[in-house]
Amino acid sequence: MTATTPLLLTFAAYLLLMIGLGFAAWRRTQTFDDYILGGRSLGSFVTALAAGASDMSGWLMMGLPGALYLTGASEAWIAIGLIIGAWANWRFVAGPLRVYTERTNNALTLPDYFTHRFEDGSRLLRILAALVILVFFAVYCASGVVAGARLFESMFAIPYAQAMVWGAAVTIAYTFIGGFLAVSWTDTIQATLMIFALLLVPLLMLIGIGGPGEAITLIEQVDPTRLQWVGAGGVVAIVSAMAWGLGYCGQPHLLARFMAAEGLHAIPRARRIGMTWMVLCLIGAMATGFFGFAWFTAHPEVAVPVNANPERVFIVLASLLFNPWIAGVLLSAILAAIMSTLAAQLLVCSSALTEDLYRGFLRPRAGHRELVWFGRAMVLAVALLAIWIARDPDSRVLGLVSYAWAGFGSAFGPVVVLSLFWKRMTRNGALAGMLTGALVVILWKQTGSSLYEMVPGFMAATIAIIVVSLIGKAPSQAMQVRHEQVRLTLKENGY
């Protein structure tokens, strides 16, 4: 498949719009706070769609459809786990984190929050959290680079190495220029484009094949195992898939959206908007992969590229089912999914390097202009590292995402949740949980076990936090009073 002129024009128009928004955000970015969190000014709609677009990266339109195309209904447990986890994150973490970060010295990043929440004068928490962010986000950013490369490789018939660079270039540009506001504004447009594409492509595909009933009948005739909810992996595979939901409370790029909301009042409406968007997008993505198998079974003459790499199923369907002008818009949605998450991840990495290491240790008196420019330089540096990690053309998007997702979910998830709800938690407990979660994920991955590393990582980190906190000295009176004040504020606002 190579790009036609209409497809090229729609793609180019979309990319120019994103860069234009970056320059508009440049004019609104006066301080480092603006660059990192947009001055905590996001309303409900932008908060919801920015969080959703940052969450649902290229794996939504490539990795997840590819998994269902390859295996069948048993892969849907991932989506079920994600929906439960995302709702719980919005309901129980978003509001408390928004209040707590403001009460802890107006923390701009997760490492900053951990440092002030636990009065860590040694700054060990800041260093460890920043290192966890850099290690796992390097892998996570690489997944976005791989997804972008796959798209450009398929559309423009260029070598993988060139596709990598072009796929990442625009995202790097508008994140470098506009910071958090650029990322949030572009996320809102990208989220709209994504839901439009994920509903339209499977709908037209099902109409073309005669409806869901005909598609299921065809799947049953070719491979009835694809209709089974319990696949070859059995219960372990279901637990592993559902465990994806545990990761939400530890993802820095999503938690940053909660921290940037204009206030507690924005969270409930944002939750309703965000969850509606998410459920519809996941249904569309699953339908594309699951029913796509039936469509390509009925059209084997065009199935070669998808059978070679199932993660191309959405790309090929969009190009075959629609005229080039519409296909250009729909394929821009894949780039939107990739760009939105990659941009958020680059910004979090930049903030960790700038706020938590550069200002935290090297230049504590640095001015806002210096910090903003250093942050921009770090966006470029992390992007180059991600491109280097993604250089293997055999990389799979879903595999890279799952590893990074487990790393953050296990290292940060239990620490974030318990820090919001348990006043007895200590600095040493947080350190033990963070270190245990990260190490268990890394080591478990090496065992080759079929159980997703999130499960042992999250459990081990939680146990470590509780045990180390209880055997150590109780938190200071000031920490406990602040915790009670935050809980009172939340109670007064219906949380």
Angstrom distance (rounded) from CA 95 to CA 262 = 11
Angstrom distance (rounded) from CA 32 to CA 372 = 5
pLDDT of residue 410: 96
Q: How far is CA 209 from CA 202, 215, 291, 301, 312, in A?
A: 11, 7, 9, 15, 19
In degrees, rounded to 5, the angle at the alpha carbon of residue 76 between the alpha carbons of residues 72 and 77 is 130
Phi, psi (rounded to 5 degrees) for 2: -120, 155
In degrees, rounded to 5, the angle at the alpha carbon of residue 128 between the alpha carbons of residues 122 and 130 is 110
Helix (H, G, I), strand (E, B) or coil at 261: strand
- Of the two residues 100 and 133, the one the predictor is more confident about is 100
Q: How far is CA 208 from CA 214, 298, 367, 473, in A?
A: 10, 10, 60, 66
Q: pLDDT tier at 182 (50, 70, 90 boundaries)? A: low
State mean pLDDT over 133-154: 78
Q: Are 409 and 249 in contact (CB under 8 A)?
A: yes
Q: pLDDT tier at 415 (50, 70, 90 boundaries)? A: very high
* List of domains in the chain: 5-394 (1.20.1730.10)
pLDDT digits (tens, 9 = 90+) for 242-253: 999 999 999 987
Mean pLDDT (the chain) is 84
Q: pLDDT tier at 33 (50, 70, 90 boundaries)? A: low
- Min mean pLDDT across 161-165, 206-210, 447-451 is at 161-165
Tokens 């420019």 locate to: 373
pTM for this entry: 0.84
Joined together, the tokens standing for residue 377 give: 């330089």
pLDDT of residue 399: 72
**Contacts of 407 by beta carbon, 8 Å cutoff, 6+ apart:** 132, 135, 136, 139, 438, 441, 442, 457
pLDDT digits (tens, 9 = 90+) for 370-394: 877 787 788 788 888 888 887 776 6
% of residues, the chain, pLDDT over 90? 40
| Cα dihedral across residues 217, 222, 224, 225: positive or negative | negative
**Contacts of 134 by beta carbon, 8 Å cutoff, 6+ apart:** 349, 352, 353, 382
Tokens 């540009």 locate to: 173
- Of the two residues 482 and 372, the one the predictor is more confident about is 482
**Contacts of 156 by beta carbon, 8 Å cutoff, 6+ apart:** 2, 3, 163, 166
pLDDT of residue 94: 94
% of residues, the chain, pLDDT over 70? 87
